[in-house]
Amino acid sequence: MKIRTLALIAMAFGLQWLAGCGGGGDDAGGGIGGSGSPLGTLRMSLTDAPACGYDAVNITVERIRVHQSDGAADNDSGWHDIALQPARRVDLLSLTNGVLLELGEVALPAGKYTQLRLVLAGNSGATPLANSVVPTDGSETALDTPSAQQSGLKLKANIDVPAGKLVDFVLDFDACKSVVKRGNSGKYNLKPVVTVIPLLSDAGLRVIGYVAPSIASGATSVSVQANSMPVKATAPDANGLFVLYPVPVGNYTLVVSAPGRVTAVITGVPVVDTAQTIVNNSALRIDPPLATLRPVSGNVTPFDASVRALQMLSGGPVVEVAWASVDALSGGFAFVLPIEAPVRTSFAAIGPFSLGFSSDAAAAGRYTIEAADASAVKTQAIDVNSAVAPLSFSLP
């Protein structure tokens, strides 16, 4: 809570200077969108989803680079940079629950930019470490970021910069899925999971609500999902308030996953850019029933694959209820999943709020475990009403 408070104070009073720190590009080289093109302005911010098992995840941003070709190499002409001078060290966990950190802006030729590089400073041994994690009940440990120290973390983007206009985009960093433990070595790798999201309006693009005080902790995840994929996730604050922002315009399923509780689902949650979406208020909080948990474990190759647990509700939708970190040295993963049925309700747009959760008995204990990498996806159906043998996935 103290970290988040300090971050909000800094956002309000100390970060405006970053807007003017945009660096120049490579216009003189005659690359795509050369110096004769009309200009627009790109502004970038940073936010984060919750991080599981860590008290801090620190990264130090040196610059953001964009290019109109997704195949451009490091030294090709046509790059445009937002350079942070000096480099900015930030704890990603201070950027949850709707908090954005503005990184800066740059004027650049109008057009579509499809490649983005997030360049981080390297760890030099100095204190504090440029990039590090603080495991819960542990000490600060260096975060290995080899690719970010050289050419930057390469991200897919679809950034349209009109002539004479300012456009805002957000780098949505998922610290939980981006930090990978390396066995019992005490070391950690950065495997970046970052989404580039357009920020179209400050009036809407938010989903706001409350969970019960008993589950108001960093271990609880609140997400909005589309086609079983989380689009934005956060942890509630100490008062149970959650703010999901920015969320692209659309219709979503809201999923609450809390330790020792069944999964709670609200379907048909609309997001617009003209108004906030209020799910409930502090007088009527989301409070899922207690659950009995079943451990599920296994291994996957290659070791950089991802593993998650999906659950199909009666008549749909399918939702992601848990995500497992894969050990970078062994490929091992583990979940604990509720045996009891999830509870569900539909979004009510008109107050007074009435959540009206009901138990989805047919879905009780039934899950699909999905393993995926860049080239393949494999699944196994399981039933945790009884013990589950270790799972094994081998992806091509």
**Residue length, the chain?**
396
Q: Is the pLDDT of residue 128 over 70?
A: yes
For the chain, the average pLDDT equals 88
Q: Binning pLDDT at 50, 70 and 90, where does residue 228 land? A: very high
CATH second-level architecture of 207-394? Sandwich (2.60)
Of 197, 158, 152, which Cα lies nearest the Cα of 174? 197
Q: What percent of the chain has pLDDT over 90?
A: 71
Of 172, 234, 230, 227, which Cα lies nearest the Cα of 197? 172
Please, are residues 248 and 231 in contact by the beta-carbon 8 Å criterion? yes
Identify the H or E element spanning 67.
strand 54-67
pLDDT at 137: 85
- Span(s) in the chain for CATH 2.60.40: 207-394
Distance set, CA 13 to CA 9, 10, 226, 228 (Å): 6, 5, 36, 39
Q: Rounded distance, CA 55 to CA 3, Å?
A: 10
Burial of 28 (0-12, 13-18, 19+ CB in 10 A): exposed
Q: Is the pLDDT of residue 9 over 70?
A: no
User: What average pLDDT score do residues 115-119 get?
Assistant: 94
Q: Is the pLDDT of residue 234 over 50?
A: yes
Please, are residues 103 and 44 in contact by the beta-carbon 8 Å criterion? yes
Please, are residues 230 and 320 in contact by the beta-carbon 8 Å criterion? yes
Of 66, 51, 71, which Cα lies nearest the Cα of 4? 51
Q: Binning pLDDT at 50, 70 and 90, where does residue 4 land? A: very low
Q: Binning pLDDT at 50, 70 and 90, where does residue 82 land? A: very high
The predicted-structure confidence for 311-369, as pLDDT tens digits, reads as follows 999 999 999 999 998 999 999 999 999 999 999 999 987 555 678 999 999 999 999 99
Distance set, CA 336 to CA 57, 61, 115 (Å): 24, 35, 37
